[in-house]
A and B are shown apart, each in its own frame.
Chain A
């Protein structure tokens, strides 16, 4: 068996960071190589080097044993390397055909686009690899899973033999993930080779032929999937033993903290994205809201925290109905909010940590007296929280923007948890964080639950939902498909609900 691709001693430095440090990787023909690593381990940098988007400072790239130089995506495409990016590189207002042909357009008479020819080729590829898609459909109308197929078709249309998939499962439902793995198997059967980048341990063991683990820009080691366990892989990724299971006691459920009834919300473009949602969160429990991204969870949280107006419906917070109110009013009633977009809604990146630590309460004593801010109190508050919540920072005077994602999130958690709170609304609290930070934030959320806070947890990571929730609500197209007891669900059933299929009555819901 030959090696179709070899990277030798790839090194890439960014100002102040060594992103890749002498990385060696080998891809065998007709195999799936999984590149495993945390965010910031250098996986994406490495693949961008391979695809010609970055230039390596040192090292060699060998395709079928021959050294090649790749300066641009065009070079990569020429050598048969194709990439499916984590954030899809598709133009939403164009058709599948237009997206596929972009950059290598066949023409009639040398002038006019030959869309029929491309559409025909797309159908051939569809048949050959089991990638059903309508060439005339507009990308914006397609579900994410199909968009991913279009990305794969784009790569195959360019006759790639080596496919790189960057975090391909991040946006998919469990069923779509299974479908993707089948597609990958078909591709392998037809002689393609695949590099599969991920940070999800279980997928790697399921799909890969070889596993290479990266940490902090270096190769930690390679391992055969047969010998791997989640614990071993996690330890390799993080560099220390990690507790993958969240320990939690049975919930001590008390009175209702939040009640939502027939809630309808429109997003900024006036689309009805929350479509008649009802649920309640009791003190001392975690209600997890599962669902594929973009099914109204974001707008639901915005409405609950006062960032979007309600179209209709009722929100009762701690026994009081709230309507037409401000975010500050909601926060003052004892709601903590860990926002989905921590850099936009959670922090002011160009403010120092000490100011970010008091953003919710800066206008009240002890931080303010009359019209003046009390610097001493602000500093001591920040010093204390940084210590208590283990924020890794040189001091409290640096800007929040200089911190890593995990530490930024810790600043938000510290700020929100240091106020007296009755209800915690946490939206994607661990997105993009390393395993260590995830572990920490999970334990803090459970600690709050045990102290008697109601928790509404919105996450598109099913594992996170399953680990933390006492009850699970599944959202699909703005509606809640079902609310289940967390101890009695299985993943397959949740996956069906996330895809909009209600298994009890085979009729589909909308």
Chain B
């Protein structure tokens, strides 16, 4: 029997989506022209720096582009692809979003950096750095929610872990002790959350909001009561050194981006890969996904649902602890109040945008990291946009993504529901 599946997306709405994307592309093209094209002086050059001064990479010549031509070219590409989309239709939404983002960002940079030099290599390198805490928060979310436990207390866990890391490292004078302490404390806080929501079936959102409030309160209290009076002994740890991987770091652009980082960034990348393999290619991952989708089915096959959830939430907490450690001993070497500034929540947005997949979550984190580092670079360039608006960039990206305009994803079916035998 060849019955057409009525569950499939109906042609009418597919057509509508096609037309909407086509118009959006054309509008983006026009916006590029209006916003940047009209404001760019003819004959001015934009220099994109492709080398990092401090890196070991082989130096290559900088990319010098005529600003106005670049802007017009980008506008033309957007309009052309938009027109093609209206006429014929391109199936991949991802490709379309890619085109929108690419043309807009390139045109924006060509305009913003006209007559100046903009260090592209530096920005890409800092993209990964700034994406690190977001990615670790996202991985924590992925592994918890794959087993159907919502943990929005990542922000709080990261704050506590950040403080524990710097204080322990300062006291023991050993960064690795600080790192381990942060991971252990992250695991403990998550274990507390797991205990409340699994054993006592406390509402998962309420419990994790409590962790956030507790985390912000306790760290601020300790910070103002103790750390500020004894900064040198308690809040001055130094940071992990950059580890340069011989050979690979010599590759231009991606060498300094990927192979000249500190240990936490390498651990993050490693975790993404390990978590992907674990979730999709090992028995534990299969069980975790089953528990998140249909816990009763897992239970009837002799899988201990509660055990799987405890372990995953605690591992998630340890990953968040690692993310917390990044803020202090991985980045600035001291603790400031509320220094995570919402990265834990942005991580959750990255998890949703990444469709609860480790690699997807990592890729989305890079988008946020990019927005964040762009904002910093643009402030340096003194772009005629108020810096407050630039600071908003990562959060605006978060909101756009969370509205589900792009890539609405389906969470694990049992996400957030306590399991009752």
Contact = CB atoms under 8 A, between A and B. Distances in A.
Real binding pair: yes
Interface of A: 51, 53, 72-74, 77, 83, 85, 89-94, 98-99, 101-105, 107, 111-113, 141, 154, 270-273, 275, 477-478, 500-501, 508-510
A493 B265 CA distance: 66
Given A102-B301, A103-B298, A113 B6 contact: no
Contacts of B386: none
Given A74-B302, A102-B286, A89 B296 contact: yes
Interface in B265-322: 277, 281-283, 286-287, 289-290, 293-294, 296-303
A311 B413 CA distance: 27
Given A73-B302, A270-B13, A272-B6, A91 B290 contact: yes
A271 B4 CA distance: 13
A190 B102 CA distance: 63
Most chain A CB atoms below 10 A, which of B2, B7, B413: B7
Nearest to A476: B3
B91 interface: no
26 contacts: A73-B299, A73-B301, A85-B300, A90-B297, A91-B289, A93-B293, A93-B413, A94-B286, A102-B287, A102-B290, A102-B298, A103-B287, A104-B301, A111-B282, A112-B281, A113-B282, A154-B301, A271-B6, A477-B6, A500-B3, A501-B1, A508-B2, A508-B3, A509-B3, A510-B3, A510-B4
B283 A51 contact: no
Most chain A CB atoms below 10 A, which of B13, B281, B293, B300: B300
Nearest to B293: A91
B403 interface: no
Given A103-B301, A112-B282, 7 more contacts: A73-B299, A73-B300, A91-B297, A93-B293, A102-B303, A501-B1, A508-B1
Most chain A CB atoms below 10 A, which of B277, B283, B290, B421: B283
Contacts of B341: none
Interface string B15-33: 0000000000000000000
Interface string B90-103: 00000000000000
Contacts of B296: 89
Contacts of B300: 51, 53, 73, 83, 85, 89
Nearest to B412: A93
Interface of B: 1-7, 10, 13, 277, 281-283, 286-287, 289-290, 293-294, 296-303, 413, 421
Contacts of A270: 13
A154 B294 CA distance: 16
A92 B413 contact: yes
B293 A92 contact: yes
B7 A103 contact: no
Given A53-B421, A113-B282, A478-B6, A103 B302 contact: yes
The secondary-structure label for the interface of chain A is loop
A89 B282 contact: no
Contacts of A104: 301
Contacts of A101: 286
A94 B294 CA distance: 11
Closest 5 CB pairs of A and B: A103-B301, A74-B302, A89-B297, A105-B283, A510-B3
A339 to B, nearest CB: 23
Contact of A477 (B3, B298, B299, B303): B3
Nearest to A271: B7
A85 B294 CA distance: 14
Nearest to B302: A74
A113 B299 contact: no
Contacts of A271: 6-7
Contacts of A141: 5
Contacts of B282: 107, 111-113
Nearest to A269: B7
Given A74-B302, A103-B302, A271-B7, A89 B294 contact: yes
B286 A113 contact: yes
Contacts of B294: 89-92
Contact of A500 (B1, B287, B302, B421): B1
B378 to A, nearest CB: 40
Contacts of A91: 289-290, 293-294, 297
A105 B296 CA distance: 18
Nearest to B298: A102
Contacts of A83: 300
A487 B361 CA distance: 61
A272 B303 CA distance: 37
Nearest to A78: B302
B10 A102 contact: no
A113 to B, nearest CB: 6
Contacts of B287: 102-103
Contacts of B290: 91, 94, 102
B366 to A, nearest CB: 26
Given A74-B302, A102-B298, A508-B3, A272 B286 contact: no
Contacts of B7: 271
A36 B332 CA distance: 71
B3 A272 contact: no
A32 to B, nearest CB: 22
Contacts of B1: 500-501, 508
A90 B413 CA distance: 12
B289 A94 contact: yes
Contacts of A51: 300
B302 A77 contact: yes
A73 B298 CA distance: 10
A107 B286 CA distance: 12
Nearest to B281: A112
Contacts of A77: 301-302
Contacts of B301: 73, 77, 89, 102-104, 154
B286 A105 contact: yes
A74 B299 CA distance: 10
Contacts of A509: 3
B63 to A, nearest CB: 43
Contacts of B10: 272
A446 B299 CA distance: 44
B351 to A, nearest CB: 17
B419 to A, nearest CB: 13
Contacts of A85: 300
A107 B283 contact: yes
A73 B304 CA distance: 10
